[in-house]
Structure 1
């Protein structure tokens, strides 16, 4: 027994010495961060429940500055929120590989556009970009209008209530829009099915953050034996079953209607059909370019990103604008100026003329970015904020912290749409605002999302005044891959007189 104890002590001592004198470890210790211990480093910093973890992540930058680190042996994370550093990482083709933590989403999203890298990423990006061509977005305007009208009718049912859960209100609308536009599939208003879908996504986000913060769960074998791992397996069976059903139904529909894309000119978008993203994937399946697994990965990814991020963005916007009556009145004045007395929903040209509404959306996304952080893998040594970051380090770009830097945005907690007037934008670093990421891996659907949000919000705010219930100061966040709150956000809706 004594022999084994001595052996373990000796092995630990050797590990400590190797770690201490390792060049990579020495470089990491030079970067500001919490006090580190031998072998375990300072990863215990991340041992906190989700609602506390969000504050832990914020306090790191408040205490240590624009670059911080957390590490333990071969686990190395740096977090950055300095625009010059972000430009170095995000504008370079050297750093398009996602951080290792993204592999925790692989059981859900596979090797989709969000997660893949290298040649595969370039091929997928080129293929999927066609589904978000400007002329395709114009054809989706009919769908945007249809579901905005349906959404407005749902809001009418809320006008006698003293408070409405804004996320529960906008979520089904966002899910219907992404389903019909990108997937070519109409979803019914099955609230039970919708809630189940939302709960599944919520759980998967929590599982990913839990694995990221608890290093022993990085191992797939250990994670699969855990309660989170077993529940995740069940949840994924449900989610993938839903996705495969969507794909199967669309494939059968296209077969029955003998659907044909213009194979003579694959870049032509002048036909009368809406080229749904799923249609594009199925077309490439017929040509042998991809298989059903690839289709499922991309459908899961775009259903999640197109629904969840837009729902969060709209929810925070409504909460924020409810607390800004003067700004809300200015939005309404602009809508009246652009639309006049027309009872129709706006055209794409009219949406483009809603400059102040767009400034308000951008300011809401500054304060409440749907994706609060993203990660890249440092595949080549890089110097950030004067510190050398070793190769194979995960670099987390802290968008939430970046957007609330007082030196970039004076009085950063204030909701001020004028920050996004053209002259003010030019005064800031181009990488000081990243709600849709930036560089080579910027969000492929950002124009789609902006059009959708402007349509829904213009339709809503022309008819209703939004009154405050939840205040920004009431919000308690929880750590997740999407910006989430511990409690629902509420507002009141009243008809305009």
Structure 2
């Protein structure tokens, strides 16, 4: 009797395996190279590792396969791509602009803001917010950035001679650059004028808010959109939370890895400093927007750092309709992970890809590069709306730091351990020595 039960159970498992792992969709997906399948559970065991092991596993698969590999475990089918042609086919088309399921854990925090929304809602929100990131608006934010940079430099002076954890320092800098306490200032202003004629307070408060307007450009646009019926209070909160998330850790991470690389590459650091000396002639004055536009080599340094260490190492989309990637058929509904980290480190795209070489981004060396070979801010319709803001912020911070300090390495690239996460980060602090400069080069 027991034997019959065991045989029946085994037969049942075989039927289940056939139904979930040998159906038409599964057969199409499993034509793509990938890890070896296990009976019934497919590739599920591959992902049952800690975040550090998972990050390393992705790199192993990327080296083993040629631009595309798959993951299958019912009901989830995932295709992973890291060639410019495949990436362009996915993210340049509005048909595939729905974010993948990997972002679902952000829903309770960001709700349905610009990062997570899709379709008409995403299009409307993007249209509302785009003017807030116009260059003429962004240049007004430079004053805020420079004020925060000055506070950061003063904090660094107190750490001279000591190994400094730059992650916490830069995280505070980027957070402050985004979170000007306008609302708190406004409340404090009203409180200080308690007992004053209400009309007088209102008039003076309007003047106060006009002066502060350059600091709340995005919020202004959202409030105007609310008056026109294009967004409600929940929508405003969604977009503020989204901007806080996207513009904080990502920029801090980009700055962290740039400083790490500059500390370890003294010759490149000196070249950046010489450029700063030409622009500022030894002055420690705050940067102006015209100064930032002259920082051509620093921009190459930032771009090369973002190539090696893209702040968002992987982005995900849901395939909206069947398409071909690397000559394989990808069914509608498949989750598509775009591995920016592996794309940027492909030998066929970047010679000696692990070497830190800012000259790659000199104009003459960028000619002919596939437009989707380098996408630290994503690309296509859903590219990062705040990429110009981030570049201004990074230039401002790096200019201030390098004009005042010489960077000496403590933590090195070889020491860095990275876990799988939505934003590229290290498992341990990144330490650098900041030695105050006393003479020009």
User: TM-score surpassing 0.5?
Assistant: yes
Q: Give the CA deviation at 1:285.
A: 3.1
In 1, distance between residues paired with 2:333 and 2:39? 20
Q: Aligned ranges for residues 71-90 of structure 1 at < 5 Å?
A: 71-90=72-91
Unaligned regions of 5+ residues in structure 1, if any?
Answer: 188-244, 263-269
In 1, distance between residues paired with 2:296 and 2:110? 36
Q: Give the CA deviation at 1:17.
A: 2.1
In 2, distance between residues paired with 1:394 and 1:352? 39
Provide closer, same or farther for how the CA distance between residues 15 and 283 of structure 1 changes in structure 2, counting only shifts above 3 A: same
1:257 aligns with 2:257: no
State which of 356, 360, 365 in structure 2 corresponds to 1:419. Answer: 360
1:136 touches 1:274 (CA, 8 Å); kept in 2? no
In 1, distance between residues paired with 2:113 and 2:333? 21
2:182 touches 2:212 (CA, 8 Å); kept in 1? no
Provide closer, same or farther for how the CA distance between residues 5 and 279 of structure 1 changes in structure 2, counting only shifts above 3 A: farther
1:179 touches 1:185 (CA, 8 Å); kept in 2? no
Corresponding position of 1:16: 17
Provide closer, same or farther for how the CA distance between residues 272 and 169 of structure 1 changes in structure 2, counting only shifts above 3 A: closer
Q: Give the CA deviation at 1:407.
A: 1.5
1:341 aligns with 2:282: yes
Listed one character per residue, the Cα deviations across residues 241-271 of structure 1 (whole Å, up to 9, x for unaligned) are xxxx9xxx9xxx9999348999xxxxxxx99
In 2, distance between residues paired with 1:91 and 1:496? 46
1:176 touches 1:186 (CA, 8 Å); kept in 2? no
Q: Aligned ranges for residues 218-233 of structure 1 at < 5 Å?
A: none
Provide closer, same or farther for how the CA distance between residues 116 and 104 of structure 1 changes in structure 2, counting only shifts above 3 A: same
In 2, distance between residues paired with 1:380 and 1:317? 39
In 2, distance between residues paired with 1:82 and 1:132? 30
Q: Aligned ranges for residues 285-304 of structure 1 at < 5 Å?
A: 285-304=226-245
Corresponding position of 1:171: 171
Q: Give the CA deviation at 1:150.
A: 1.2
Q: Give the CA deviation at 1:74.
A: 2.1
1:352 aligns with 2:293: yes
**Structure number with larger C-alpha Rg:** 2
In 1, distance between residues paired with 2:157 and 2:323? 54
Structure 1 moving runs of 4+ over 6 Å: 1-7, 253-256, 259-262
Q: Give the CA deviation at 1:20.
A: 4.3
1:136 touches 1:275 (CA, 8 Å); kept in 2? no
Listed one character per residue, the Cα deviations across residues 188-225 of structure 1 (whole Å, up to 9, x for unaligned) are xxxxxxxxxxxxxxxxxxxxxxxxxxxxxxxxxxxxxx
Q: Aligned ranges for residues 47-58 of structure 1 at < 5 Å?
A: 47-58=48-59
SS at match of 1:65: coil
Q: TM-score, normalised by structure 1?
A: 0.80
Corresponding position of 2:413: 472
Provide closer, same or farther for how the CA distance between residues 274 and 490 of structure 1 changes in structure 2, counting only shifts above 3 A: closer
Unaligned regions of 5+ residues in structure 2, if any?
Answer: 192-200
1:31 touches 1:68 (CA, 8 Å); kept in 2? yes
1:119 aligns with 2:115: no
SS at match of 2:30: helix
1:32 touches 1:64 (CA, 8 Å); kept in 2? yes
Provide closer, same or farther for how the CA distance between residues 254 and 146 of structure 1 changes in structure 2, counting only shifts above 3 A: farther
Provide closer, same or farther for how the CA distance between residues 114 and 340 of structure 1 changes in structure 2, counting only shifts above 3 A: same
In 2, distance between residues paired with 1:8 and 1:302? 53
SS at match of 1:108: helix
SS at match of 1:30: coil
Root mean square deviation of aligned Cα? 2.6
2:21 touches 2:42 (CA, 8 Å); kept in 1? no
Q: Give the CA deviation at 1:281.
A: 2.1
